[in-house]
Each structure stands twice: as structure tokens, then as C-alpha cells.
């Protein structure tokens, strides 16, 4: 013990190193074993081999410690401990082999062993050449030499192989912690190589600095185990390599093919550098290792070829199997590249879209999308997926089949990676869910209908126990679903129906499968109410009754509103008078009563004069209120038994029964006309409304409703034509007049299209100079049947029908175009006058129309004069001022036509932007015989002179009238004295001869 203690004292500086190696190896091995639990098979095996390497080192250290610490002697070399130290490297080699193989393969293992054998042989040969002299000095102790050379041979081979393995694993997924393990092994390889070189040179001493390298190596291996235990796993492994065994990483064949070349080149390089030492004896010593190296190369090449053939065979077998599977599954399988081109599709896929198997390959999936916008965006979306790689999620799409029909599909997809981990495409499984969607939609619709329908729905089982009710059931009956579940419909019985009624109802349900009818039920609050109910039977697949469905609606409001609906159906909603339907019914019955009593009855067709002006100027609300007051006044003026009805708009009709002759209607007609002289007060407006009435008498003027009403309407038109505010009886001549009017209206609508309208022109004469200064455009209709019609035959009709607007635009455009032509021909006239209807002016775009026509014809505005009736200006004062201001702004001249007939207000007149007053022909016709006409003409001329307006007199037919107007200093004249209206072609010649004619009248 004393001797042992002295030995320990001598070894005190290094004994802790031995213990550190021992426990470092043990702890590291245990950590590697613990990490291996829970990993996949190939990685679990690799970490167990890492742990086995540490345990082998631990075993070697136990033997070492036995010699060093227990026996107190130096460990001999070689010793049993070297087996554990040397086994450390092969364990690591095996671990890296396992990391590269997901499933062990015989050929792959042989290739790796051959590669390691090549490396070992190359390194041994290199060391034998380089260390030849130290080896010779060992006096042939080949066990010592072999053991010493085994360290660099095994460790350096394992290190080179490990580096190559890590490089290859980077391409498909390097597990966390492996780089640290490799770095720790590198420290071991460095330490053991230096240790071996020291042994061969007899320079190694325990406790040298290389001892620390072993401790660092175990520390790094332990750190790698911790990293793998708590770090994330490797990235995804190439699916293709996994499919065929996972034993051929990208670049593997090229790398392994280079191993023999690199080993031979290294041997040749060392031989060249140390060629002086290559004696025959040395070469003979190297020959066995060189031979073994060649054998390992041959084995590796054979195994590689075998491995390649095995892979190709398995690939072909796997592909054939995969295609067989894909051809039988009922789902579409599709492989596309990142541009959306179809690389592969199975038969089910192509059939799903209506194509023959294989027909879709090479085409782009955009052609299958139903929405063209999605087809345009699919390329950028696929590029986004390839770049960002979001987690794959199923999506739904509407696609179009070859026949054009649209189907709903579900796509379950995933990425397709290449060997470098880049996305090269997508693999999808496609399911046709059109029928499923249809069923789902139908179920959703059914559920929505069940809950949202306004009708109560009650479902019972075969024993008539309630199993479900909807929201409308609760709203109608007051019972919540939980209050009626499991009960029978008897909870709703009102007691109004006897047992026989219910027995008959259930008998019908069982025999016919349905029943419907009106029934009285009772609400939760006890109220009895009527419902319209339908009960249907639902049967299962075996034909047995499974449920009954009762649908009913509360018809209380229907019964209450039936009378209101009947009333509304037969009455005008605005005035509450009978409408046309009730009027026809009452008139029919009145005619039957009159026929039985052999008496007469009359129909008074009533229309409000100029009612449209009220709507246009004051708005429809005022017009509606006026109609209500009119209806009330008509009712108050009629007898209790008479029917007063509103047919439409401002048309009313009164049925006057029990009259003895037609003259009995005179009293009521006059009474109505006189009563309507009193104005109506509506919303602060005092409105004067007159009536036009047409009267027809039964049976003289018609024996049925249609004839009697039509004839009364014809009489009404005559009343309007004769000045309104009057009544007329129907005569047969009126029928012909109405027919002619209808015929004329139809023809007038086609007159513009058929080019039947023409313009004649009448000269305007300056009374100061005695020469023509302009013309007035006057419209004529060249009717194909009635000949040339003057404007009084159709202008009123055009006003009533609204045709005056297109007619007026045509007149204005034609006149401007003709005036431009005359000016270009050199005619000495200043302007053309055109009459404008009030209806044209009421349109808000008349100024734009005039401006467009002037631009289109090229006529300067100063050559155009618009004649506007005094009646329009005086009734629409403010609006007229705005319209005239806008027209005046264009530069045209404005004249007030028919001046003196419209009761003009001087206060209004002075505000108007007009240039001329036109004395109406009615005030010129009787000059000089009628002193009143002379006075009016004189007053108008004086008014114009005072307001600085020109005055023109129309209808001048005698030299005496001309001389009177000249004496009053009237500016212009127009009439038959100078010329009747003539066609445009005669105007130029007329203008030349007019000065002489005017001069003859003045003398």
C-alpha cells in the first residue's frame, strides 16, 4: 500500500484525467441512448450507435483505469483497452451509414463498407510510406505497429466518411445535433492520430495536452445529443427517396465514385513525395494493402451497380403498382408543375372532366376553371404557393367539363419537392362534390324554409306525437317547441269541430296520404282562430308511415281583409270612387233595370280642362289632392242613387238612371259646369278648373257598356274641340269625327318617317323701308289621302299627343338649314321666324336643342327669331323668364306671338327679355271698319314703342290696313297683301318682286 501510495503521488498530476475520460464517455453514451428513444428507426439506430461508440470507449477506459489506478502500473501498448478505443471509430462509421438509410438495404451497406475499406487501405498505405523509418526502428514489432496505425486509419477514415455523410444529408434533411457530434468526433480523430504518431515515435506521455481534446470531443458529442433532444427535427425528407428505400441521396453516386479515385490519387501523391523510400521490400510490404484496396473498389462498384439495378427495378415495380392503384381509385389524381401544366392524371380524373384518358396531359389547368378570371390568376397563385409554401389546405372550386357543364370539386393537395427541397409542382386528389353540394344545399334550403317560412309546420311520428315545430308554429299558437314535444296535436283543438269531423280527417289522411282544408284551432292563451291546414304522410323505404307533417297558416287576417280587398279591387284608391271595373258592373246592371222598366239612362263622361298644367307646374301631390276635392264635389252634386266613378287620370263618369228623355241630363250638366266655376283651394293655391262633358243616352246611343262609354267619350272630344267648359250630346257625326281624329293621329306619327312634312314661308315686311326683311316658317302636311293640310288641322292633335316636340325640332332644324342656304345664295333677308310650342319650352333641354341645331346647320344666332305664345309666357311667368333668358343668351331674337289674346301683365311684360310684339290677326282683320280693333292696334304699337320693342302686325290683307299701320309707326307687317306662304323654292323670286308690289300698295 505504501508503494501504491507513492505511485499515486507520482501520478497525481494525471490520474484525474483518466477519471474524466471514463465518466465523460459513460455520461455521453447514456445521453445518446436516451435521445434515441422516440426517434424514427434509422435515426434511432444512429444515436444508439453513437452511444455504443461512447460505451466502447468507456470499456477501454475501465481497462486503462484498472492498470493505471488499481494496479499502479502503466498500461502496456497494445492492450485490451485499445480494442475499445479503436471500436469508437467503427461505431461512428456505422452511425453515419444508418443516418443515410431510412430502411436498411444490403447493397447500400456493402457499398459503404467498400468505401470505408478503400479509405482505410489508402490511409494505411500512405502512413506506411510516410512512417517507414520509425516503423523500421520498432524492430519488427508488427502488433505494436498495426495497432498504432489502426488509430489514424480508422479515425481518419471515419472522419472523412462522416464529413461526406453530413454533406449528403444537408441535401435531404440533416437531423439537429449531428454537426456537433461530427465536430466532437473530429477532436477525437485529431487526438487519436496525434496519439498514434506519438506511439510510433515513442514521444507520447500521459497528461499531454492532447488528453484535453478527448474531453472536448465528449463534451461536443454530449452537446449534440442535447441539441437533438430539445431541438426541432430535420426538414422533410425527399418523398421519392423514401418511396424506393431512401438509400440514394442526391449526389451519392458521384461522391462514392470519386472515393476510389481520391484514395488512389492520395496514395500516388504520397508515393511521389516519398519515392526514395519505395524500395522493393517496401513495395512488397505495401502490396497486400494495395490488393485489398483494389478488391474493395471492385466490391464497391459491383454493389453500386447492383444497388442501381435494384433501385431501378423497385422504381419500375413501384410505378407500375402506383399506376395500377391510381387507375382503380374512383378519385381524380393530378400532378401539375408550378405553371399549372398537367404532368399526370389518372383515368378517373380525365373522365371526371369529360375527356378521354390521357387527353388532358400537357394542358394547363386554367382551361378547366369555370370562371375566366380565376383562370387568368391561377399562374400567379401557383407561383405564390411555390414561393411562400403555406400549409396545404383543401379548397373547393367550380370547374367546367368538356361539354360546358359546371361541376363542383374538392381538391386535397400537397407540394411536390425536388431532391433539393424546391417546390416543382403539386399533387392533388380531386373529388366531384356536385351531388354532395346539391344535397347539402337542398338540406340547408329545407332547414331554412322550415324555420323561416311564415306558415306553421308541425312534424309528428307515426303515433302522432309531436317531434318538431318551427318558429312560425310558436308565433301563431303561442306554444314553444319544448311545450308540445311528445304531445299530440289535440293540444290545439278548439272544440268547434265534433269527433266525426276529426275521424273523417284522419280517415282521409290514412287512405289518401294527405288532407287539406279549413279548421279552427286554439292558441295557448285560449283564443280560437281559423287556419288553412295541409297534412301529409311521410313513409320510410319499406312503405311504412314514419311521420306526419302538418302545415297551416293563420287566416284570421285573410278573412278580415277579404272584404277590404274586394273593396279595393272595385274602388279607386285615391278618390275612393268606384273604379272602371265596378263602374262597368253597375252600368251593366243599370242598363238591365232600364230595359225592364222601359226607361232611359245617361252616361256623363267628364274630363278636367287643362289638368296637366296643374301637375306640371305645382307637382303631382297637388294634382292628387285636387282630384280628391273634384271627386268630393261631383259626389255632392249627384243624386244618391247615381254612380260617380273615376276611370283614369282626370277622367270621371256619372251614370244617371231613371230619366224620361235626354233633356233631363241638361240640368245636371249645367249644374256641374256652374259649380266648377268656384275655385278649389289646395295647399295655399287657388285653382280654377273647368269641365268638359260628353253625354250618351241608353238605349238611343248604345245597347252595351262599351258602345255607350265610347260614344260619351266622342261627345267629350267635341266639347273640348269647341272650346271646353261645356257639354255635348253624342251624334252619329261625332263617331266619324272621332274616327277621323284617330286616323289622323296614327298618320301623324308616321309623317316624319315618311317625309310628308313641308315648310312654306311667308315674307316679313319692314313698313319703314318697304322691303322684305325676313320670312316666317309655317308647317304644312302633305297627307297622302287628304292632300296639303294647314297647321290648324293637326297642330292641336300634335299638342294633345306630345308629337309637337319632335315636329317642332324638325321645323326648327329645317328652317335653320334653309335660312343658311339662302344666305349662302346671297338672298337679302335678315332672319327666319319659327313658332315654338309651350310643350317644347317646358322641356328642360330646349336651349340645348336650339344650340345643337344652330351648330349643326351653321346658322348664326342673329338670323333666328323664335315666336312664343303670349299664353305660355303669362301662365309660366317665372319659368318663362328663365327660359327666355337662356335663349336670349344664345344671341337669337324673341317675339311674343298672338299678343293681345293672353291678358298680359305690364309688370310681367317689362321683365321679359323679348325683342318684338306680334299683334294677333284678330285685331287687324277689321281695320279700318272696327274702331275697337284700331284702338287695340294703336295701343300695342304705343306699348312697344314705350318698352323699346318692335311691333309686327300679322294678317294684313288690304292697302288700307297697311296705311293705318304705317300711320301708327308700326315696324313690320305680314299677310296675304304681300304674299301667301309659298314653298322654299319660290322664296328667292318672291323677294325680288316684293319691293315693287309694296310700293304700289303705298301709293
Question: What's the CA gap between 457 and 350, in Å, rounded?
Answer: 46
Share of the chain above pLDDT 90, in %: 13
Residue for grid cell 317644347: 840
Q: Tell me the helix, strand and coil percentages in the chain, rounded to 5.
A: 55, 20, 25
Nearest to 8 by CA among 83, 56, 60, 65: 65
CB 252 within 8 A of CB 303: no
Question: Between the ranges 70-79, 234-243, 322-331, 574-583, where is the mean pLDDT highest?
Answer: 574-583
Please give the full DSSP string across 29-82, using - where no structure is assigned.
Answer: HHHHHHHHTTS-HHHHHHHHHHHHHHHHHHHHHHHHHIIIIIS-SPPPSS-HHH
Q: What totals of helices (H) and strands (E) does the chain contain, helices first?
A: 35, 27
Bridge partners of residue 697, in order along the sequence: 602
Q: What is the pLDDT of residue 873?
A: 66
Question: What's the CA gap between 553 and 298, in Å, rounded?
Answer: 94
Instruction: Note the pLDDT tens digit of each residue in 374-400.
Output: 777 888 888 888 888 899 888 888 888
Q: What is the pLDDT of residue 120?
A: 75
CB under 8 A, 24+ apart: contacts of 81-84: 82/147, 82/150, 84/56, 84/57, 84/58, 84/59, 84/60
- Helix, coil or strand: residue 249: coil
Residue for grid cell 459491383: 302
Bridge partners of residue 545, in order along the sequence: 539
Region at 478 (left for phi over 0; alpha for psi -120 to 50; beta for the rest): left
588: cell is 251593366
Instruction: Note the pLDDT tens digit of each residue in 911-958.
Output: 778 889 998 888 888 888 888 888 888 988 988 888 888 999 999 998
CB 896 within 8 A of CB 871: no
Question: What's the CA gap between 69 and 60, in Å, rounded?
Answer: 14
- Name every residue whose Cβ is closer than 8 Å to that of residue 700 and which is 6 or more positions away in sequence: 600, 662
Residue for grid cell 298618320: 747
Residue 3 has pLDDT above 70, yes or no: no
859: cell is 346658322
- Name every residue whose Cβ is closer than 8 Å to that of residue 112 and which is 6 or more positions away in sequence: 93, 97, 100, 161
* Domain ranges across the chain: 6-232+265-295, 330-439, 453-560, 571-730, 743-1002
Q: What is the pLDDT of residue 280?
A: 73
Least reliable range by pLDDT among 79-83, 494-498, 651-655, 914-918? 79-83
CB 453 within 8 A of CB 473: no
Question: What's the CA gap between 789 and 231, in Å, rounded?
Answer: 106
CB 695 within 8 A of CB 602: yes
Nearest to 92 by CA among 148, 28, 41: 28
Residue 565 has pLDDT above 90, yes or no: no
16 or 664: which leads in pLDDT = 664
Q: What is the pLDDT of residue 663?
A: 66
DSSP state of 209: T
Terminal CA-CA length for the chain: 178
Q: Half-sphere exposure of residue 562, counting CA atoms within 13 Å on the CB side?
A: 5
Residue 210 has pLDDT above 90, yes or no: no
Taking every pair of C-alpha atoms in the chain, what is the biggest distance, in angstroms?
Answer: 178
Question: What's the CA gap between 410 and 424, in Å, rounded?
Answer: 22
Q: What is the pLDDT of residue 384?
A: 87
Q: Where are the beta strands (DSSP E) in 109-149?
A: none
CB 606 within 8 A of CB 691: yes
The model's confidence at residue 786, banded by pLDDT at 50, 70 and 90, is: confident
Q: What is the pLDDT of residue 105?
A: 61
62 or 822: which leads in pLDDT = 822
Residue 537 has pLDDT above 70, yes or no: yes
Question: What's the CA gap between 172 and 241, in Å, rounded?
Answer: 9
219 or 632: which leads in pLDDT = 632
Q: What is the pLDDT of residue 645?
A: 94
Least reliable range by pLDDT among 49-58, 136-145, 342-351, 386-395? 136-145
For 156-181, what is the mean pLDDT? 79
Report the interhelical angle of 620-637 vs 664-675 (nearest 10°). 140
Q: What is the pLDDT of residue 2?
A: 36
Nearest to 658 by CA among 697, 695, 709, 706: 697
Alpha helices, H only, 485-574: 499-512, 556-569
The model's confidence at residue 684, banded by pLDDT at 50, 70 and 90, is: confident
650 or 666: which leads in pLDDT = 650
Least reliable range by pLDDT among 171-175, 334-338, 735-739? 735-739
Residue 299 has pLDDT above 90, yes or no: no
Residue 670 has pLDDT above 90, yes or no: no
Residue 236 has pLDDT above 50, yes or no: no
Q: State the fold for domain 453-560.
A: Beta-Lactamase (3.30.450)
458 or 292: which leads in pLDDT = 458
Nearest to 172 by CA among 242, 103, 229: 242
Question: What's the CA gap between 581 and 572, in Å, rounded?
Answer: 10
Alpha helices, H only, 170-251: 178-201, 210-230, 239-243
Residue 95 has pLDDT above 50, yes or no: yes
Q: What is the pLDDT of residue 819?
A: 92
Residue 880 has pLDDT above 80, yes or no: no
For 470-485, what is the mean pLDDT? 89
Residue 978 has pLDDT above 60, yes or no: yes
Residue 221 has pLDDT above 70, yes or no: yes
Mention the CATH class of domain 6-232+265-295.
mainly alpha
CB 466 within 8 A of CB 448: no
Mean pLDDT of the chain: 80
Question: What's the CA gap between 447 and 458, in Å, rounded?
Answer: 13
Question: What's the CA gap between 955 and 647, in Å, rounded?
Answer: 43
The model's confidence at residue 258, banded by pLDDT at 50, 70 and 90, is: low
Q: What is the pLDDT of residue 275?
A: 67
Q: Is residue 892 exposed (0-12), middle (13-18) or buried (19+ Cβ within 10 Å)? A: buried
CB 645 within 8 A of CB 583: yes
Residue 852 has pLDDT above 70, yes or no: yes
Nearest to 135 by CA among 156, 154, 122, 149: 149
- Helix, coil or strand: residue 834: strand
For 653-664, what is the mean pLDDT? 82
What's the CATH architecture for 571-730?
2-Layer Sandwich (3.30)
CB 873 within 8 A of CB 842: no
The model's confidence at residue 971, banded by pLDDT at 50, 70 and 90, is: very high
Q: What is the pLDDT of residue 815?
A: 92
- Name every residue whose Cβ is closer than 8 Å to that of residue 338 and which is 6 or more positions away in sequence: 382, 383, 385, 386, 423, 424, 425, 426
Q: What is the pLDDT of residue 401?
A: 86
- Helix, coil or strand: residue 417: strand
Sign of the CA dihedral with 843 first, then 845, 847, and 850 last: negative
Residue 137 has pLDDT above 50, yes or no: yes
Mention the CATH class of domain 330-439.
alpha beta
Q: What is the pLDDT of residue 234?
A: 45
For 774-784, what is the mean pLDDT? 90
Question: What's the CA gap between 226 and 177, in Å, rounded?
Answer: 7
95: cell is 452511425
CB atoms within 10 A of CB 711: 26
Q: 6-232+265-295 and 453-560 share one CATH topology?
A: no
- Name every residue whose Cβ is closer than 8 Å to that of residue 436 and which is 6 or more positions away in sequence: 408
What CATH number labels 743-1002? 3.20.20.450
Residue 405 has pLDDT above 80, yes or no: yes
Instruction: Note the pLDDT tens digit of each residue in 797-830.
Output: 777 777 888 888 999 999 999 999 999 998 888 9
CB neighbour burial string for 27-37, b if at least 16 within 10 angstroms, e if fewer: ebbbbbbebbe
Question: What's the CA gap between 718 and 730, in Å, rounded?
Answer: 9
Question: What's the CA gap between 119 and 165, in Å, rounded?
Answer: 14
Alpha helices, H only, 619-691: 620-637, 664-675
Q: What is the pLDDT of residue 737?
A: 54
Q: What is the pLDDT of residue 102?
A: 55
Amino acid at each position: 500500500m505504501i508503494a501504491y501510495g507513492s505511485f499515486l503521488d507520482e501520478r497525481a498530476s494525471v490520474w484525474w484525467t483518466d477519471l474524466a475520460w471514463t465518466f465523460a464517455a459513460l455520461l455521453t453514451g447514456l445521453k445518446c441512448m436516451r435521445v434515441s428513444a422516440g426517434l424514427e428507426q434509422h435515426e434511432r439506430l444512429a444515436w444508439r450507435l453513437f452511444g455504443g461508440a461512447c460505451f466502447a470507449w468507456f470499456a477501454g477506459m475501465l481497462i486503462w483505469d484498472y492498470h493505471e489506478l488499481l494496479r499502479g502500473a502503466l498500461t502496456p501498448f497494445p492492450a485490451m483497452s485499445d480494442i475499445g478505443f479503436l471500436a469508437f471509430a467503427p461505431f461512428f462509421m456505422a452511425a453515419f451509414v444508418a443516418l443515410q438509410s431510412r430502411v436498411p438495404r444490403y447493397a447500400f451497406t456493402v457499398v459503404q463498407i467498400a468505401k470505408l475499406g478503400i479509405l482505410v487501405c489508402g490511409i494505411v498505405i500512405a502512413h506506411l510510406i510516410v512512417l517507414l523509418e520509425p516503423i523500421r526502428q520498432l524492430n519488427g514489432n508488427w502488433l505494436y505497429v498495426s495497432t498504432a496505425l489502426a488509430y489514424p486509419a480508422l479515425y481518419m477514415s471515419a472522419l472523412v466518411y462522416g464529413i461526406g455523410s453530413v454533406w449528403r444529408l444537408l441535401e435531404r434533411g440533416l437531423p439537429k445535433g449531428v454537426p456537433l457530434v461530427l465536430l466532437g468526433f473530429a477532436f477525437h480523430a485529431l487526438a487519436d492520430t496525434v496519439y498514434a504518431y506519438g506511439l510510433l515515435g515513442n514521444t507520447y506521455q500521459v497528461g499531454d495536452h492532447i488528453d484535453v481534446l478527448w474531453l472536448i470531443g465528449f463534451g461536443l458529442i454530449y452537446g449534440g445529443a442535447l441539441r437533438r433532444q430539445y431541438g426541432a427535427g430535420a426538414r422533410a425528407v425527399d418523398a421519392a427517396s423514401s418511396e424506393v428505400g431512401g438509400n440514394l441521396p442526391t449526389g451519392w453516386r458521384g461522391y462514392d465514385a470519386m472515393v476510389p479515385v481520391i484514395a488512389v490519387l492520395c496514395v500516388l501523391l504520397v508515393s511521389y513525395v516519398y519515392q526514395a523510400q519505395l524500395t522493393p521490400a517496401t513495395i512488397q510490404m505495401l502490396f497486400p494493402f494495395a490488393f485489398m484496396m483494389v478488391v474493395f473498389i471492385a466490391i464497391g462498384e459491383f454493389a453500386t451497380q447492383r444497388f442501381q439495378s435494384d433501385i431501378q427495378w423497385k422504381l419500375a415495380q413501384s410505378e407500375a403498382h402506383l399506376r395500377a392503384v391510381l387507375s382503380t381509385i374512383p378519385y381524380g389524381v393530378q400532378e401539375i408543375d408550378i405553371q399549372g401544366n398537367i404532368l399526370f392524371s389518372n383515368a378517373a380524373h380525365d373522365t371526371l372532366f369529360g375527356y378521354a384518358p390521357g387527353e388532358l396531359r400537357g394542358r394547363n389547368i386554367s382551361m378547366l376553371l369555370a370562371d375566366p378570371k380565376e383562370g387568368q390568376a391561377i399562374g400567379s397563385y401557383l407561383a405564390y404557393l411555390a414561393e411562400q409554401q403555406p400549409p396545404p389546405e383543401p379548397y373547393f372550386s367550380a370547374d367546367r367539363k368538356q361539354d360546358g357543364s359546371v361541376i363542383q370539386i374538392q381538391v386535397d393537395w400537397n407540394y411536390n419537392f425536388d431532391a433539393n427541397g424546391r417546390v416543382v409542382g403539386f399533387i392533388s386528389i380531386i373529388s366531384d362534390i356536385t351531388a354532395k353540394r346539391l344535397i347539402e344545399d337542398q338540406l340547408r334550403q329545407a332547414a331554412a324554409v322550415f324555420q323561416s317560412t311564415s306558415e306553421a309546420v308541425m312534424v309528428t311520428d307515426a303515433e302522432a306525437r309531436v317531434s318538431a315545430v318551427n318558429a312560425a308554429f310558436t308565433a301563431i299558437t303561442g306554444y314553444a317547441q319544448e311545450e308540445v314535444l311528445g304531445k299530440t296535436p289535440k293540444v290545439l283543438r278548439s272544440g268547434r269541430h265534433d269527433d266525426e269531423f276529426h275521424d273523417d280527417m284522419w280517415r282521409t289522411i290514412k287512405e289518401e296520404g294527405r288532407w287539406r282544408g279549413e279548421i279552427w284551432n286554439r292558441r295557448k292563451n285560449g283564443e280560437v282562430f281559423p287556419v288553412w291546414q295541409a297534412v301529409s304522410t311521410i313513409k320510410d323505404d319499406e312503405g311504412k308511415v314514419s311521420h306526419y307533417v302538418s302545415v297551416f297558416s293563420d287566416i284570421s287576417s285573410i278573412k278580415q281583409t277579404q272584404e277590404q280587398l274586394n273593396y279595393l279591387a272595385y274602388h279607386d284608391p285615391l278618390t275612393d270612387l268606384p273604379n272602371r271595373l265596378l263602374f262597368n258592373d253597375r252600368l251593366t246592371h243599370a242598363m238591365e233595370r232600364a230595359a225592364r222598366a222601359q226607361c232611359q239612362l245617361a252616361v256623363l263622361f267628364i274630363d278636367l280642362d287643362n289638368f296637366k298644367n296643374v301637375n306640371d307646374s305645382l307637382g303631382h301631390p297637388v294634382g292628387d289632392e285636387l282630384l280628391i276635392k273634384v271627386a268630393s264635389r261631383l259626389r255632392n252634386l249627384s243624386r244618391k242613387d247615381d254612380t260617380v266613378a273615376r276611370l283614369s287620370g282626370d277622367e270621371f263618369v256619372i251614370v244617371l238612371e231613371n230619366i224620361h228623355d235626354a233633356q233631363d241630363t241638361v240640368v245636371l250638366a249645367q249644374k256641374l259646369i256652374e259649380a266648377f266655376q268656384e275655385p278649389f283651394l289646395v295647399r295655399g293655391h287657388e285653382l280654377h278648373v273647368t269641365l268638359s262633358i260628353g253625354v250618351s243616352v241608353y238605349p238611343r246611343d248604345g245597347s252595351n257598356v262599351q258602345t255607350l262609354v265610347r260614344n260619351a267619350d266622342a261627345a267629350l272630344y267635341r266639347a273640348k274641340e269647341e272650346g271646353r267648359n261645356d257639354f255635348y250630346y253624342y251624334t252619329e257625326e261625332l263617331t266619324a269625327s272621332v274616327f277621323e281624329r284617330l286616323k289622323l293621329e296614327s298618320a301623324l306619327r308616321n309623317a316624319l318617317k315618311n317625309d310628308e312634312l313641308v315648310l312654306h314661308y311667308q315674307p316679313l315686311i319692314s313698313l319703314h323701308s318697304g322691303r322684305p326683311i325676313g320670312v316666317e316658317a309655317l308647317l304644312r302636311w302633305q297627307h297622302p289621302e287628304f292632300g296639303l293640310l294647314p297647321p290648324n288641322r293637326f297642330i292641336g292633335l300634335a299638342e294633345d299627343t306630345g308629337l309637337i316636340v319632335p315636329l317642332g325640332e324638325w321645323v326648327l332644324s329645317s328652317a335653320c338649314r334653309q335660312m343658311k342656304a339662302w344666305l349662302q345664295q346671297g338672298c337679302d333677308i335678315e332672319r327666319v321666324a319659327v313658332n315654338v310650342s309651350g310643350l317644347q319650352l317646358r322641356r328642360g333641354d330646349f336651349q340645348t336643342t336650339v344650340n345643337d341645331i344652330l351648330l349643326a346647320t351653321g346658322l348664326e344666332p342673329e338670323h333666328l327669331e323664335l315666336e312664343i305664345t303670349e299664353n305660355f309666357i303669362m301662365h309660366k311667368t317665372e319659368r318663362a323668364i328663365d327660359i327666355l333668358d337662356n335663349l336670349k343668351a344664345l344671341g337669337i331674337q324673341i317675339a311674343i306671338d298672338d299678343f293681345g289674346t293672353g291678358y298680359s301683365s305690364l309688370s310681367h311684360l317689362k321683365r321679359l327679355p323679348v325683342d318684338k310684339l306680334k299683334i294677333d290677326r284678330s285685331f287687324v282683320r277689321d281695320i279700318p271698319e272696327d274702331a275697337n280693333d284700331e284702338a287695340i292696334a294703336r295701343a300695342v304699337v304705343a306699348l312697344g314703342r314705350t318698352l323699346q320693342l318692335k311691333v309686327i302686325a300679322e294678317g294684313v290683307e288690304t292697302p288700307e290696313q297697311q296705311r293705318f299701320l304705317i300711320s301708327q309707326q308700326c315696324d313690320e307687317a305680314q299677310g296675304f297683301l304681300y304674299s301667301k306662304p309659298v314653298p322654299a323654292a319660290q322664296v328667292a323670286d318672291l323677294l325680288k318682286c316684293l319691293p315693287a308690289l309694296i310700293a304700289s300698295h303705298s301709293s
